[in-house]
Amino acid sequence: MEGRRIFIFDTTLRDGEQSPGVSLSEGEKLEIAMQLARLGVDVIEAGFPAASEGELKSVKRIAREVKGPVIAALARALEEDINAAAEALSPAERKRIHTFIATSDIHMQYKLRMSREEVIETTRKSVSYARNFTDDVEFSAEDATRSDWDFVCKVFEVAIDAGATTVNIPDTVGYALPHEFGELVRTVMNKVPNIDKAVVSVHCHDDLGMAVANSIAGIMAGASQVECTINGIGERAGNASLEEIVATIYCRQKMLNCYTCIRTELISRTSKLVSDLTGMPVQPNKAIVGANAFKHESGIHQHGVLSNPLTYEILDPKLFGVTEEGIVLGKHSGRHALEMKLRKLGYELNREQLDQVFKRFKELAEKKREVTDMDLEALASDVLHTAPEIYQLDYMHVVSGKGTVPSATVRIRRGEELLLATGTGVGPVDAVYKTIDKLITIPHRLTDFSVRSVGPGTDAVAEVFVRVTDDEGNVFSGYGISTDTIEAAAKAYMHALNKLAHSKAQQG
């Protein structure tokens, strides 16, 4: 590789999980962290341990089980936060405490109620304290782009003197334009006298749609670490998108004179995993990982691409895990062809999981002329993320139509016991859910329901995401697929309720 290396700091599990409506279980966080390690990120920010006991436990498990990347934990510039981060990171082979404090006048006046002198002294104390637990300490000047730049430089100088090995320049509210963000990075590089002792990092938000552009501007100005998330998820409008930054560096390597160590062929698989587990679908026109990112419908475009892909494709889709049309899978296809296709899509399944996917694939192939890559990804995701089935949907009959009161008969199996109930609702899905609620009586409420089509046509698979909340405010997500939308909805609801029941059973 030519040029300088850019370190990828992934904050999907911390800033990304702060996206409104997202709540990942400990197991889901670990699964994402494992995939990020396979992807080749340099740092995984696993969470904010001081936020809750559950968060501390999740970070500690990732620190213990995920090998390769540095595992980081966020902490405010408070001893109790740093203590929590240190405890959570204690099993990690490589660990980093990431502490921060705001430096803009508006944050210091209205949030911190601190003077500049107090912020400087707090910076010194917090970084020095964090160094008691690890030699790898990152310091961030929150809201740096709306701060007095000379003050930011002074704070960074103090942080580095106190032991910070990375200093981060955040565009916390996505306010900066690329040219001015680049100028801020250059100012830090030139005015902080001890900057040679630390890595300079950037962390940009997408409130004005410029997070990736600002991150690239920061790299061009000298930053060596970029903080980002899979699919760009995060607070408000989100963060800089990992896949877009990596693709830009790859595509424009000669111009930027830098590289990353990301395994680009795993990007599509990682994007799908994060989308499935967070319940946040990727928009079709999203760069690199959107369903339409490498598709061509216009006749002129199709002719050009068939003659030479470079006419309309600046990147080879295969480099980012997007497979070309090859084997067409249908009802006459065998297990070997299915396994090969799933491997190309980035899914490594054990024998039991492959058997389950093959069974569902055969059922789907009987209903559809052709099973698409998106169908296979949905089937594989459904098998991989099945919750322990305390309750099994054994039978369902739904009646609905114009002039008819929607009704449902549902039978659920719990061990050897069969539970049966009927109910009505304002629509077929409502009738099914109300009937299931008669059989599964754990207190909960449905807080989110979304359905989308996986692929084109009236025979497309329906993919349903739901979230339910228990009486303590814990959130459980559910996922279901079927060519029958009502069946997919029932599967998703049962998936979420099984997670809820499993959680209650573990609590005793």
Q: Phi, psi (5° rounding) for residue 134?
A: -160, 150
What does the pLDDT read at residue 299? 42
SS3 316: coil
What does the pLDDT read at residue 302? 42
**H helices of 385-452, where?**
428-439
Distance CA 56, CA 306 (A): 52
Distance CA 238, CA 147 (A): 21
What does the pLDDT read at residue 506? 77
What does the pLDDT read at residue 242? 98
**H helices of 279-426, where?**
299-307, 335-344, 351-365, 373-384
Contact present, 486 and 428 (Cβ < 8 Å): yes
What does the pLDDT read at residue 332? 65
C-alpha distances in angstroms, 107 versus 69, 191, 204, 311? 32, 23, 17, 49
Closest to 354 measured CA to CA, from 341, 365, 372: 341
For the residues of 166-229, what is the DSSP string, one character each? EEEEEETTS---HHHHHHHHHHHHHH-TTGGGSEEEEEEB-TTS-HHHHHHHHHHTT--EEEEB
SS3 103: coil
Cβ-Cβ contacts under 8 Å for 52 (sequence gap 6 or more): none
Distance CA 474, CA 233 (A): 21
Residue 11, classified by CB atoms within 10 Å of its CB into exposed (0-12), middle (13-18) or buried (19+), is buried
Please, which residues bridge with residue 231 across strands?
A: none
DSSP letter for 328, please. P
C-alpha distances in angstroms, 416 versus 42, 232, 410, 437, 498? 49, 45, 16, 20, 17
What does the pLDDT read at residue 327? 41
Q: Which positions of the chain have pLDDT values less than 50? A: 297-299, 301-303, 305, 324-328
pLDDT tens column, 86-121: 999 999 999 999 999 999 999 999 999 999 999 999
Contact present, 220 and 187 (Cβ < 8 Å): no
Distance CA 465, CA 498 (A): 14
What does the pLDDT read at residue 365? 76
Contact present, 325 and 318 (Cβ < 8 Å): no
